[in-house]
């Protein structure tokens, strides 16, 4: 089921790009300060998707490289971020040399990984003491219409997969190359059109796997919400309230990169970092 859910992102890459939110500058600045990132540093955006967080990272002035397993996502990435190389690879098989990057960031994706295997591979490509940042945009359910939207979606689809309670445990295991994560939260309102709200909702993996009839009915109900809710009715543009959670940690000093050749993947014509 997890593989099936994750695979839907490749099928809906263009909708994902249109509908999903970006990331606040404050969150990027926090990670840059925490990990001492800037010109002369190298950051890996792992499971980069269409490059939404990569674009936010450009403000650091660091060299950037992206890795994603989905061809459709990489195509959208190149349209949006043509000046950053994006390579084909997975979290447990990163096509970079040992100790290549100063920080690894994962936006909206760590819950899909094989957690311990991914952490060991992330530690391999990190330099000693390198930073790991895990980022999620979550809807602010204190807003009444967001609660109603969530109820509407949940009537039609499976509950959301993994939450922090599941993935965070791996950092407390004896085999983890990282100590437990710490957390910061940043406000991140996004402005959407009615069409953007539909795209954002339909881009969710748990919605994408539903039959076409279910997706049509969900779309109809979202349009009804847009037409009837006092906060949305007649609005051509409105704020979708998100909160951006940032979890951060550093590679343990006793965890040097393993000396082995990295796995290689076709890069779809993208330049490899040198």
pLDDT per residue as tens digits for the range 230-256? 999 999 999 999 999 999 999 998 655
63 found inside a domain: yes
CA distance 250 to 173: 15
Q: Is residue 175 part of a domain?
A: yes
Number of domains in the chain: 1
3-state secondary structure 119-142: HHHHHHHEEEEEEEEEEEEEECCC
The pLDDT tens digits of the residues spanning 31-76 come to 999 999 999 999 999 999 999 999 999 999 999 999 999 998 999 9
66 and 77 Cβ atoms separated by less than 8 Å: yes
Residue 172 included in any domain? yes
Residue 206 lies in a domain: no
What CATH number does residue 55 fall under? 3.40.50.150
Question: CA-to-CA distance for 90 and 17, rounded, in angstroms?
Answer: 20
Whether residue 252 contacts residue 212, with contact meaning beta carbons closer than 8 Å, is answered with no
pLDDT for the residue 12: 57
Q: Is residue 13 part of a domain?
A: yes
By residue range, what is the domain housing residue 183?
2-139+159-189+243-250
Does 180 fall in a domain? yes
Evaluate whether residue 146 is within a structural domain.
no
- By C-alpha distance, which of 161, 129, 166, 156 is closest to 251? 129
The pLDDT-based confidence of 204 (bands split at 50, 70, 90) is confident
222 in any annotated domain: no
């Amino acid at each position: 089921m997890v593989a099936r859910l994750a695979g839907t992102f490749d099928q809906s890459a263009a909708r994902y790009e249109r509908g999903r939110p970006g990331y606040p500058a404050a969150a990027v600045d926090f990670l840059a300060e925490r990990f001492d990132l800037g010109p002369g540093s190298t950051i890996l955006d792992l499971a980069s998707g269409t490059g939404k967080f990569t674009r936010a990272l450009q403000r650091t002035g660091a060299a950037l490289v992206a890795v994603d397993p989905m061809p459709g996502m990489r195509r959208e990435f190149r349209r949006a971020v043509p000046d950053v190389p994006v390579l084909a690879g997975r979290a447990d098989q990163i096509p970079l040399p040992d100790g290549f990057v100063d920080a690894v960031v994962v936006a909206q994706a760590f819950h899909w990984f094989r957690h311990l295997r991914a952490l060991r591979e992330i530690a391999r490509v990190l330099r000693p003491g390198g930073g790991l940042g895990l980022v999620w945009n979550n809807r602010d359910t204190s807003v009444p219409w967001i609660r109603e939207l969530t109820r509407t979606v949940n009537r039609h689809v499976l509950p959301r997969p993994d939450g922090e309670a599941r993935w965070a445990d791996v950092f407390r295991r004896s085999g983890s190359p990282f100590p437990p994560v710490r957390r910061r939260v940043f406000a991140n309102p996004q402005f959407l059109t009615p069409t953007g709200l539909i795209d954002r909702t339909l881009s969710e993996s748990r919605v994408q796997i539903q039959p076409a009839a279910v997706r049509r009915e969900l779309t109809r109900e979202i349009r009804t919400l847009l037409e009837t809710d006092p906060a949305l009715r007649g609005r051509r543009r409105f704020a979708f309230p998100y909160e951006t959670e940032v979890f951060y940690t550093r590679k343990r000093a006793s965890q040097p990169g393993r000396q082995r050749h990295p796995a290689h993947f076709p890069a779809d014509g993208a330049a490899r970092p040198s």
